[in-house]
A and B are shown apart, each in its own frame.
Chain A
């Protein structure tokens, strides 16, 4: 019972904060006045953009928005790659050497794409300087890039110019990510997350062993890791580590932080459209999907592992912390994969088969609140497809938000949806086909899940993993890079072209033949379309992995 009260509390906080934060986002990205901030922040932002040399014009074509996005992202990634590869001696008390080239490249691209897959053990590989200068830097810039794309897409669908990338990027950091992270970082610090550059502590335990405690600027790192839906841990154990996530209170805030911005972005979309009902219905849609998945995951973990019945009973606690227990670990797993964060407070690899199916399904759908900025964009792509499909079924001209949905929109939407399975299933099939490449640590059906999960996590830009997988190899690093880049930049390009084309269309006044999209019925149909497209594309691999594993358990 108390487990479900915690689920309700989480949802109350997320849905309660969505209109407040949503209003703020709308003001930021629609350039409305913000009396508390404008006075001192606007001059700073303006002079920064002037120094950068931005002409301040909104983009007229998709390429005008994309060009600075791609150029700056290449430089962000290059800075991180060089820092990882060379790993300077600054703030490096363990004297850690540079990271191997393929791991450095994979890590830089993984954090650049807001994914944060980690094929290394951070506390044994990275200095405090690299954690901050390479990874924390990308936490902010990758999240800000996502937000910029999300709101450019929203503007386009609402019939407006896409906006100015530099302006969106800078304001995402100065007005959204930085202030929220400072507050969350302070709360984490007070609750026990270290904030020091003093290096590790070596001590003698009560039984006489030598223990080494890795310390660092954890509170600052952790705050933007969660809020920016990044998810890359300061430590190998990620949010299960007591320094990253000291107690149930920080755990609750960490969960709210993962959903807060994507939920608010959906609310802000309604405000942009001038139809808040549409935003609220979409928010309820993803909340419904999330609840269904959370119930499956929590029930699976609470039921426990029948193979261990001779020795113990109760919930499955393998890979879980006592302070969180089975239910909160399953809930965290559902949130971290629904949002594209990828932080974990328990071992995903040790979840029960259906407990592991839920995160995998989330990675396939990509819309259960979804990634920073991109979540709402994918959701709207599903809306376009639903308008098209229902239009075909009932014989009405497909229209969305007062504009016609035509060939270009359907082609781009289909491309965006097809990119994902291509970058998951093709590399997974190749890797499974060559046992020397696999690195599978858990035999049987679970091994299939391990491989598919790694590519799904890369292509969805999530970053969590079935971490038993031996993924620190050249093959895994390079093949995951393909999925990381393909899953990030191809959809971004397609989204911006779709939005730019859509915004240039002549508005059509609503008529008798217009299908209203802001109704409960249409929202339910959209949910069904999401589930059918998600399930049909990926059902075969689900059957080979988690579903087969579930059936292999004794009843």
Chain B
């Protein structure tokens, strides 16, 4: 009988806490997000002529010479049939890691990057990294300049505009948003 009574208490407790932690907690944040910060709340989407072309926070695959290249991704930047995000999970002593880096290094040399910045060879943690390092961008300026009607000087300025330094000069690392940079490339020299 006491077990029945205690089970009933646990049942009521579960119902009450479910309402509080699932409904009452989530709704205000949903309301504030959609009402006051719709851009962020809907995924920081970037539009060109009203068409969604990407998210300012999510990288895209760039492999052609006309664009600044993005980092290797274990999930092809979620371009499969389902949303995805994952690192390679290759261990530091896994022979497959050496093989992958060797192959990527050959491809980059073909694209004119003799001594590529390490972030262009190492896979990212999310498979969606929107950034490359400023060095990786600088190394690609000459190639892009040959492909587009833009001088290295102009390109360097563009890279600088899309470079974010360490937050408050301390936090994180300096980085270049590849999608935003490439969008400007298309805008300036289609």
Does B associate with A? yes
Residue numbers of A with Cβ under 8 A of B are 2, 5-6, 9, 48, 51-54, 67-68, 71-72, 74-76, 79, 94, 121, 123-124, 132-133, 136-137, 139-141, 166, 169-170, 173-174, 178, 181-182, 185-186, 189-198, 200-201, 203-207, 209-215, 217, 219-220, 224, 235-237, 240-243, 246-249, 251-252, 305, 307-308, 311-325, 328-329, 344-347, 349-353, 441-446, 466-468, 549, 552-553
* 3 pairs of A and B residues whose beta carbons are closest in the complex: A248-B172, A214-B83, A195-B33
A190 touches B118 (CB 8 A): no
A288 to B117, CA, bound (A): 36
User: In the complex, which residues of chain A have a beta carbon less than 8 angstroms from the beta carbon of B71?
Assistant: 322
Taking a contact as CB atoms under 8 Å apart, the answer to whether A190 and B40 are in contact is: yes
Given A6-B170, A124-B83, do A181 and B93 touch, yes or no (CB 8 Å)?
no
**Is B157 among interface residues, defined by CB-CB distance under 8 A?**
no
Query: Is A206's CB under 8 angstroms from B172's CB?
Result: no
Q: Which residues of B contact A178 (CB under 8 A)?
A: 20-21, 25
Which B residues, 20 to 54, have Cβ-Cβ distances below 8 Å to chain A?
20-22, 25-26, 28-30, 32-34, 37, 40-45, 52-54
Q: Interface digits, B72-108 against A, CB 8 Å rule (1 contact, 0 not)? A: 0000111111111111111111110110011001000
Flag if B131 contacts A322 (CB, 8 Å).
Answer: yes
The reply to whether A133 and B90 contact each other, CB–CB distance below 8 Å, is no
Q: B18: nearest residue on chain A (CB-CB)? A: A137
Query: Contacts of A251 on B, CB cut-off 8 Å?
Result: 171-172
Contacts A72-B14, A324-B172 supplied; 12 other A-B pairs, CB < 8 Å: A52-B16, A71-B9, A178-B20, A178-B21, A194-B42, A195-B41, A219-B29, A219-B41, A248-B171, A308-B97, A311-B105, A312-B101
For the complex formed, measure the closest distance between the CB of A539 and the CB atoms of chain B, giving whole angstroms.
21
Q: How far is the CA of A407 from the CA of B119 in the complex (A)?
A: 57
Contacting residue for B41 out of A173, A182, A189, CB 8 A = A189
Say whether B37 contacts A189, CB under 8 Å: yes
Q: Is the CB of B87 within 8 A of A350?
A: yes
Residue of B78, B91, B170 with highest tally of chain A CB at under 10 A: B91
Q: B residues 119-158 with Cβ under 8 Å of A?
A: 119, 121-133
Among A9, A53, A212, A315, point to the contact of B8 (Cβ < 8 A). Answer: A53
With A190-B37, A553-B93 as known contacts, state yes or no: A52 contacts B32, CB within 8 Å: no
Q: Could you show 19 A-B contacts with beta carbons less than 8 Å apart?
A: A48-B16, A68-B10, A72-B13, A140-B17, A178-B20, A195-B29, A206-B62, A207-B62, A207-B67, A211-B54, A220-B30, A224-B25, A236-B85, A240-B126, A248-B166, A323-B131, A329-B125, A344-B125, A467-B87
> Is the beta-carbon distance between A445 and B26 smaller than 8 angstroms?
no
Q: Could you tell me the distance between the alpha carbons of A198 and B42 in the complex, rounded to whole angstroms?
A: 8
Taking a contact as CB atoms under 8 Å apart, the answer to whether B89 and A468 are in contact is yes
Interface contact B89-A51, CB-CB below 8 Å: no
Residues of A within 8 A of B127 (CB): 237
Q: Which has the most chain B C-beta neighbours within 10 Å: A6, A52, A246?
A: A52
For A74, the chain B residues whose CB sits under 8 A away are 10
**Contact call B125/A237, Cβ cutoff below 8 A:** yes
**Is B58 in contact with chain A by the CB < 8 A criterion?**
yes
Closest to B27 in A: A220
In chain A, what residue has the closest Cβ to B94? A442
* Residues in chain A near residue B186, CB distance under 8 A: 206
B151 shortest CB reach to chain A, Å: 22
A244 to chain B, nearest CB (A): 9
Given A205-B60, A240-B126, A445-B93, are A215 and B29 also a contact pair (CB < 8 Å)? no
Q: Knowing A213-B43, A305-B92, A311-B102 touch, does A76 contact B60 (C-beta < 8 A)?
A: no
Contact of A243 (CB < 8 Å), options: B5, B22, B57, B61: B57
Tell me, in angstroms, the Cα distance from A140 to B8 when the chains sit together.
21
Q: In the complex the two chains form, what is the Cα distance from A185 to B13 in whole Å?
A: 25
User: Closest Cβ of chain A: how far from B122's Cβ, in Å?
Assistant: 4
Q: What is the CA–CA distance of A521 and B16 in the complex, to the nearest angstrom?
A: 48
